[in-house]
Amino acid sequence: MEIIFYTLIFIIGILFGSFYTLAIYRIPKKQDITHTHSYCPKCQHKLGFWDLIPLFSYIFLGGKCRYCKEKIRPRYFIIELISGIFFLLIAYLWNFDLENLQVLKLIDFCFFILYFTFIVLMAGIDKESKIIDKKVTAYGIIISILYMIYLYIVDETNIYRYAMYLLVYIIILIIDNITLRKYAKDKYTNGIILTTIIMAIFSGELCTYMAITLVLLTFAICILCKKIYNKKNHILKENIGPKLPIGFMLAVADIIIFIYILLCNKFLI
């Protein structure tokens, strides 16, 4: 029975993964993500049922479009697989099983799916287009406010913390809408700050601090390597190089540390 349950969780995970790949491709292009039928980006051919089965279609089609034989980027396969594994891991680490399925655990799991959706879309779009998408951030803020309300109902001791989070949201949104609209174009930093607050609410402050530290360390190492490279090759002019997708890096660090903390809780304590 447990195997069927976990298989079902994995299938739900890869189905979500399939939606993520579509959303990451369409949101930056301002295309509809719910009504328009899936199509091949190269030949524009509408995809049939057998082309749309997560993981399996990619394997059976040999990573190519059935109609124009254009290579399908492995990103689709990887995101579906990671999302399936992630759903499975969370269900397992949270001791999720059918026999003693508690309502609160189920609600927690649903909220986590909503959070994972936010983190994957934010990271995917950042990696592809180097932007923190506003619609995705707005979605993240809405689900985190709902989550705060839920946590307050379950355990009201955290009210001051939530109030502080809300205040930071409001301040950043004001800066974003009034100041930046007038004077500056760099909204990336604001997007990153909002993202870290959403991360702290869902994956916890410890996990977020560790993720930020890890990203800063990676940054420092990258800059150091570049300096050494420039010195060795006698490049005097600082070449800025490609912009690093900080949102993507934060998301990867956050998810890895989150799973690591859950693993420690399950097996070490």
- Which residues bind to Zn ion, rule: CB under 5 A? 40, 42-43, 65, 67-68, 70
CB nearer to Zn ion: pick between 18 and 208: 18
- Through-space distance between the first and last CA atoms of the chain, rounded to whole angstroms: 28
> Please, what's the b/e burial string for 210-227 (b: 16 or more CB within 10 A of its CB; e: otherwise)?
bbbebbeeeeeeeeeeee
Residue 32, helix vs strand vs coil: coil
CB nearer to Zn ion: pick between 70 and 205: 70
CB nearer to Zn ion: pick between 29 and 232: 29
Query: Distances in Å between the alpha carbon of 55 and those of 4, 51, 52, 196?
Result: 19, 10, 9, 31
| Half-sphere exposure (Cβ direction) of 241: Cα atoms closer than 13 Å | 12
Question: Which tokens is 18 given?
Answer: 């399939």
Residue 77: which of 64, 90, 91, 66 has the closest Cα?
Answer: 64
Question: Which tokens is 30 given?
Answer: 């301002």
CB nearer to Zn ion: pick between 18 and 196: 18
Q: How far is the CB of 14 from Zn ion (least distance, A)?
A: 22
At residue 233's C-alpha, the angle toward residues 232 and 237, to 5°, is 110
CB nearer to Zn ion: pick between 40 and 114: 40
At position 241, the amino acid (one-letter code) is: G
Query: In which region does residue 234 sit, left (phi positive, over 0), alpha (psi from -120 to 50) or beta (all else)?
Result: left
**Helix residue ranges, H only, 94-204:** 103-129, 134-154, 159-174, 181-183, 188-203
CB nearer to Zn ion: pick between 67 and 94: 67
Q: How far is the CB of 32 from Zn ion (least distance, A)?
A: 20
Q: How far is the CB of 25 from Zn ion (least distance, A)?
A: 14
Q: How far is the CB of 43 from Zn ion (least distance, A)?
A: 3
Q: How far is the CB of 45 from Zn ion (least distance, A)?
A: 5
CB nearer to Zn ion: pick between 65 and 85: 65
Q: How far is the CB of 55 from Zn ion (least distance, A)?
A: 19
Q: How far is the CB of 33 from Zn ion (least distance, A)?
A: 20
CB–CB of 208/199 below 8 Å?
Answer: yes
